[in-house]
Amino acid sequence: MSNLLSTTLVLLAIAFSPLYSQSNPVLNTATTLVKQHEGLVLKPYQDSTGISIGYGTNLSAGITQEEAEYLLTYRLAKLQSRLQKLLWYVQLTPVRKVAILDLAYNVGYSGLLNFTDLIWCLKHHYWNGAANRMKQSLWYKQTGTRAIYLVQLMRHG
């Protein structure tokens, strides 16, 4: 018996055993098998049906709005978790936190940390200075309406 087949039989035996407490053993076991069969690739790659990513998720037809919403929520939560470790961020008003979270989503966490003058202003509660630093950046010139809105949030909190 092949190694793959014996692994599959063990997984199926576990999944359908009366001791298996997950709410959906078929889905859980299939998930394990698909992961094993597809493998994990974290960057887009060309396959026989188009462009895929992850565990064989075909992107050629796009994604659903639900998938896009989930991905956005997941990434924002992950980014916010990183920002919560920065004292200057924690001390901001909720409105300014929103502005910084949106900016960080747009330029990335590392990109945000490159806004050193902005961060200095935030640490010192110099809101007009922070808004002005945002406005003087290349990001502002490239971003348009979004940048104008975030600068106003920063200025008026």
65-156: which CATH topology? Answer: Lysozyme (1.10.530)
Contact 107, 139 (CB under 8 A): yes
Q: Are the C-beta atoms of 75 and 82 separated by less than 8 Å?
A: no
Percent of the chain clearing pLDDT 70 (strictly above): 86
pTM: 0.77
Where does the chain hold its CATH 1.10.530.40 domain(s)? 65-156
Give the model confidence (pLDDT) of 12-52 as tens digits: 454 454 444 458 888 888 889 989 999 999 999 998 889 99
Q: Please state the three-class secondary structure of 96-129 as a single string.
A: HHHHHHHHHHHHCHHHHHCCHHHHHHHHCCCHHH
pLDDT in tens, 61-89: 898 999 999 999 999 999 999 999 999 99
